Structure 1
Amino acid sequence: MKIDEIISVVPYDKQWTILFQNERVNPFKAFKEGAIDIQHFSSTPIQGMFAKSIIDILIGVKTLDLKNSVANNLIQLGYEGFGEMDGTGRLYFRKRQEHAYDLAVVIWNSEQPINNLLIRNYLRNNPRIAKQYSERKLSAITKGYTTLLFYSDEKADYVSNILEQAKKS
């Protein structure tokens, strides 16, 4: 089980919102009362945006010390866990079956989910910026950044700039 994987970027698919709505019940079942909120984030909830065909789900919790039952429930649902990502305060789980899902488990109302949702909402409200970001993603793929880690690194500064713009708006 390794985190890096081959990725591609595809045009917006209106099914992504439906896939999120259908899948969001599973983490709620796994976390039971431990989930404060579950949100669709990253690029797939942004109409017209090019994205990896992976539904990103943000799960807000009070603590990252998950009970074994939660992890076991997620495994039974087809998710694999990777633990905390680079000291970011985010636990990462993914499911790769007929459809692909990534779960980001974070402390609710901490900086990370606030920033992720700020970017999502900013891009939803600024289609011109979303189009520029889509072009940046396609450029990264064209340049050969076709694995998750290289692709993420390639666009990290650009995403930071979008966050700064979003904070100012």
Structure 2
Amino acid sequence: MGIDEIISVIPYDEKWIALFQNEKINLLKAFGDDAIDIQHFGSTSVHGMFAKPIIDVLIGVKTLELSNSVTNKLTQLGYEGFGETGVKGRLYFRKRQEHAYNLAVVIWNGEQWVNNLLIRNYLRENPHVAKQYCERKLDAIKKGYTTLLSYSDEKADYVSKLLDQAKKSIG
């Protein structure tokens, strides 16, 4: 399967937190000591946000050179690896089964780690900004950006500005 896929955006679902917690247990077993921290990020981690019904999981590691043991365990869990896929410093894996998951494996406390958590925390602390972001997402879908790559491209500038706002908010 290629990286692009049809996507949809739905209202916040309370079960997203439990889905993350359950998958985190599986991922901790797969990564073992290689995972320094595992965080729920993306829109499904922000209460009240509209989101693609895909749980985004951020895994902080010391090195992006994953052992065969880890990659084999991810395959056994149903994950497909896509490498960096245009995002330097991030390994992307996804699982599409009863529930959908995206993994971003990044250097713990590196730029990808820090930026993704900055945006998540900023949206959690600023519901009015989260609401604006929801409107932007729904607008993108209405305009016909219903594949992963077109949707991501359509909101890329907005997300970049969001990161700048988040950075300014912490001084």
- Please name the residue that 1:23 is paired with: 23
Is 1:137 aligned to 2:169, yes or no?
no
The separation in 1 between residues aligned to 2:89 and 2:141, in whole angstroms, is 28
> What stretches of structure 1 move > 3 A for 4+ residues in a row?
none
TM-score, normalized by length of structure 2?
A: 0.97
- Please name the residue that 1:153 is paired with: 153
Q: Percent of aligned pairs with the same residue?
A: 75
Instruction: Report the 3-state secondary structure (helix = DSSP H, G, I; strand = E; otherwise coil) of the residue aligned with 1:12.
Output: coil
Mapping of residues 44-83 of structure 1, within 5 Å:
44-83=44-83
List per-residue Cα deviations over 1:32-63 (Å, max 9, x = no partner): 11000000001001011000000000000000
Select between 36-45 and 86-95 the one with higher mean Cα deviation.
86-95
The separation in 2 between residues aligned to 1:119 and 1:25, in whole angstroms, is 24
Q: Which runs of 5+ in 2 are unaligned?
A: none
Deviation for aligned residue 1:87:
4.8
List per-residue Cα deviations over 1:136-164 (Å, max 9, x = no partner): 00000000000000000000000011111
The separation in 2 between residues aligned to 1:14 and 1:94, in whole angstroms, is 21
Q: Which runs of 5+ in 1 are unaligned?
A: none
TM-score, normalized by length of structure 1?
A: 0.98
Q: How many residues are aligned here?
A: 169
List per-residue Cα deviations over 1:52-100 (Å, max 9, x = no partner): 0000000000000011111000000111111122151100111100000
Alignment CA distance shift 1:135-1:87 (3 Å): closer
Alignment CA distance shift 1:87-1:166 (3 Å): closer
